[in-house]
Amino acid sequence: GEGKGRFYLDRIDVADAAAPRLLDPVNVPGWLLSYEDADGSPALATLEPTRLSRTVASVDACREALGPGAFFDADRRACLRIDYAVHAVSLDGALARIDASFMLPAGTSPLGVAAEGSVLTLTFVPAEDVNSSNARRFPVLIGRDLGSPDPSFEIVDAGEIDPRSVRVVHGLVIVSTLA
């Protein structure tokens, strides 16, 4: 149906570098955010969108039905919102397994992502600011120990991040530790 899709991770066997082989793709839950080899095993993070819609008559009814971050399509009389889950994913051959998940607050919009090793940093726009021009300091989702048996996620305010732990790589912020 409308708004549904599948996401795949293409795999290439390079055991014989002179003759690489394309392997069967692996169905993963969402867009690939990061892939880093951590101690010999892949540390994947994905961002999975979920589309919500309701038939409503007005902008006010839309906000009441789906809250901040919702968009009213007047032509279709539809209220739309996309929510996102961040997943730590491990691969077992051709199967992807979700090891941990974190739902971003309802109606928020991902803004930027960066990863280094087993640490993922994702900045997002809070729902109350999605449809406004408010200038503010955005919260950050930190994913740690991706690829380990016990990955974790935590939302922090940008003010809680120790500036000495921040590096900018290709315009994206990478956080290695918190204050």
Task: Output the pLDDT for position 117.
Answer: 62
Q: Which of 164, 89, 74, 168 is nearest to 121 (CA)?
A: 168
3-state SS string for the chain = CCCCCCEEEEEEECCCCCCCEEEEEEEECCEEEEEEEECCEEEEEEEEEEEEEEECCCHHHHHHHHCCCCEEECCCCEEEEEEEEEEEEEEECCEEEEEEEEECCCCCEEEEEEEECCEEEEEEECHHHHCCCCCCCCCEEEEECCCCCCCEEEEECHHHCCHHHEEEECCEEEECCCC
Phi and psi at residue 105, to the nearest 5°: -55, 145
Task: Output the pLDDT for position 150.
Answer: 81
Residue 84 to residue 142: CA distance in whole angstroms:
15
Q: pTM for the complete prediction?
A: 0.73
**103-143 pLDDT tens trace:** 888 877 777 676 666 666 677 666 666 555 554 556 777 77
Task: Output the pLDDT for position 64.
Answer: 93
Residue 168 to residue 129: CA distance in whole angstroms:
24
What Cα–Cα distance (Å) separates residue 50 from each residue in 29, 41, 79, 80, 103? 11, 28, 14, 11, 10
Residues in CB range of 137: below 8 A, 6 or more apart: 157, 158, 159
Task: Output the pLDDT for position 59.
Answer: 92
Spacing of C-alpha 18 from chain mean position: 35
Q: Which residues of the chain have pLDDT under 50?
A: 1, 135, 167-179
